[in-house]
Every structure is written in structure tokens, then in C-alpha cells.
Amino acid sequence: MINSMTGFASRGQDYDYGQLNLELRSVNHRYLEVQLRIPDELRSLESGLRDAIGVKIVRGKVDCRLGYTPIPSAVKGLPLNQNVLQQLIKYNESIMSLLPQSAGLSVANVLNFPGIFDQDAPPVEQISADALSLLSGALAELGHTRGREGDKLQALLLERLARMETLAEEVGPHIPKLVAAFQDKLTARIREAMGNAEDDRLRQEVVLFASKIDVDEELSRLKAHLSEVRRVLEKGGSAGKRLDFLMQELNREANTLGAKSVSADVSRISVEMKVLIEQMREQIQNIE
């Protein structure tokens, strides 16, 4: 399976100590980059969450948000933390003396301030286990999302790949025709200028022309790269970097075809190939 690097997943659950909500968002990135946004009181969970994500995801920028809300009964009736309250009062007085026109602290501001209630620390070990369980479910959901998007990308790439293979087959028959046409034209010109055509000179010119427009090696490499692209797509897995490299190689051969072209048909084929390669390259940037 080919996986996209774009996806979203979320999980939420109520527990005895409160509620946990976890969100995962991923977008394309050259390497794996994990950004964690978790409450300060649960900062110790960061390493475990990061490791769990790294096991399942190879490439992409992943944004993981973990929210923790204690259940209302856990804070109802708890005493205020007097140290925190006195500090808030001092801050409020200092600010009001400097900015008398500003609004002071309200009761709601005080009650919503982190650490204002004297309460037991959250059960970090239990929260850690539950958060990892939520993450496991979210990663599975994210994998399905990225897989479905990857199937669409794979279909688009295979469609363009088939067209590239057809174009590569169309180039070969043009070369003998071009050489024959050049020989006929050169013969006619020599006869017109000299009255007869010198076989040796004519043969040398034709051989030189044929060598200049010969693209057998380029076509062989092009077809080999196309076969490798198809193999990588069918094999699946983490294929983005390999496919990106193959697009560079395909583009090099398509450019050489265009540079050696002496006919409108071969030039058209070269241009169409480069357009297809660029379209594939854009899609590949989002493959894991």
C-alpha cells in the first residue's frame, strides 16, 4: 500500500479523573517531524507519545495535541491555593499602578488561572497508559486515512506512468524514418549541386546524422526507470524518496530526447513526457 502523508484523526474518552482528547494531523514533509502540544502537568508523557508515533509513521510533519480536562467534581469545593492567589494579587496591583486605565482581575480570571486550586496532582501513570491507548487508536485511524489518500495518488501515478510507457514506445519508429528522410534529402542536394552523389561522403554524413539523433540508450534507460517506478508503486511501503529520485532520472532522459530531437513528433513526445513527469513529481511529494 502507498500511503499519503496527509491525514487527520481524533480520539476522546472520559475517565474517573477527567477527560482526555487527542488529535493527530499530518502533512507532507521531507523527514519525520513530530510536534507535541500537551498540558504542562503531563509533560512527562512527551517521550512515550513521540516514540509511539515514530513506530507507525516514517515521513511527514505530525501535529499531536493532547488535551486534559479534570472532571468538574474533581475541582468542586477545593480550597484556593493561597500562594498563587497572593501572587496574582501582587501582579494585579503592579499592573494597575502602571496602567490604571486597564481592567483588573475578575473572579473568573482568578478561578481559571492554572494552579489556583489546591488539588492532588493528576494520576500521571494512569493518564500515560490511557493516552497511549488513545494514540494507538488515533494512529490506526490516521493510517486508514493516509492509505485511502495513497490509493488515489497511486491510481493517478499509474495512469500517467502508462501514458509515459506508450510515449516511449512511440519514439523508436521515428528514428529510422528520420535517417532515411535525411539520406534522401542529402542525396538530392548533392546531386543538384554536383550532378552526382559520392557514396562514401554520403554514407559518412548519414552515419554522422544517425549518431547525433540516436536515442537507443536514452530509451533503454527511460523504459528501465518506468519499470522501476511501476515496481515501487506495486510493492508499496515507504516509497516517496525512491519515487522522487526516479522522477529526476526520468526528467534527465526526457530532456536528452528533446535535445537530440530533429523532428516535431519527437519534440512533442519529449514535452509531453516532461509535463507528465512534473505532474507525477507533484503527487509524489505527498507520498510517505
44 and 138 share one domain: yes
What is the biggest distance separating any 2 CA atoms in the chain, rounded to whole angstroms? Answer: 115
Q: Are 70 and 114 in contact (CB under 8 A)?
A: no
Residue 70 lies in a domain: yes
pLDDT in tens, 71-117: 754 445 567 778 888 888 888 888 888 888 777 778 777 777 776 76
32 and 101 share one domain: no
Q: Is the pLDDT of residue 260 over 80?
A: no
Q: How many CB atoms lie within 10 A of CB 72?
A: 8
Name every residue whose Cβ is closer than 8 Å to that of residue 27 and which is 6 or more positions away in sequence: 5, 6, 60, 61
**Amino acid 246: pLDDT:** 96
Q: Is the pLDDT of residue 220 over 50?
A: yes
- Name beta bridge partners: 277: none
83 vs 23, more confident: 23
Residue 117 lies in a domain: no
Q: How many CB atoms lie within 10 A of CB 123?
A: 14
Dist. CA 127–CA 42, nearest whole Å: 8
Q: Which of 74-83, 107-116, 122-131, 235-244 has the lowest mean pLDDT?
A: 74-83
43 and 133 share one domain: yes
**Amino acid 194: pLDDT:** 54
**Amino acid 204: pLDDT:** 62
Q: Name residue 279's amino acid.
A: Q
20: its cell numbers: 482526555
**Amino acid 74: pLDDT:** 47
99 and 21 share one domain: no
Dist. CA 128–CA 108, nearest whole Å: 30
20 and 137 share one domain: yes
Residue 196 lies in a domain: yes
35: its cell numbers: 510536534
pTM: 0.69
134 and 221 share one domain: no
221: its cell numbers: 534507460
Check which CATH number belongs to the domain holding 48 and give it.
3.30.230
Mean pLDDT of 233-239: 90
98 and 66 share one domain: no
**Amino acid 189: pLDDT:** 57
**Amino acid 121: pLDDT:** 59
53 and 175 share one domain: no
Check which CATH number belongs to the domain holding 175 and give it.
1.20.140
Q: Is the pLDDT of residue 26 over 80?
A: yes
Residue listed under C-alpha cell 530509451:
219
Q: Is the pLDDT of residue 136 over 60?
A: yes
Q: Name residue 103's amino acid.
A: A
**Amino acid 206: pLDDT:** 55
pLDDT in tens, 205-217: 555 555 555 567 7
Residue 134 lies in a domain: yes
92 and 16 share one domain: no
Residue 116 lies in a domain: no
3-class state of residue 14 by DSSP: strand
Q: Is the pLDDT of residue 62 over 60?
A: yes
Range of the domain at 225: 147-284
Q: Which of 120, 144, 131 is nearest to 56 (CA)?
A: 144
25 vs 73, more confident: 25
Residue 119 lies in a domain: no
% residues pLDDT > 90 (the chain): 49
47 and 135 share one domain: yes
Residue 275's pLDDT band, with cuts at 50, 70 and 90, is very high
pLDDT in tens, 162-209: 999 999 888 777 666 655 555 555 555 555 555 555 566 556 655 555
52: its cell numbers: 509511539
Q: Cα 108 to chain center, whole Å?
A: 44
**Amino acid 134: pLDDT:** 96
Dist. CA 275–CA 129, nearest whole Å: 50
Q: Are 171 and 269 in contact (CB under 8 A)?
A: yes
Residue 211 lies in a domain: yes
Mean pLDDT of the chain, nearest integer: 83
Dist. CA 41–CA 69, nearest whole Å: 11
Q: How many domains, the chain? A: 3
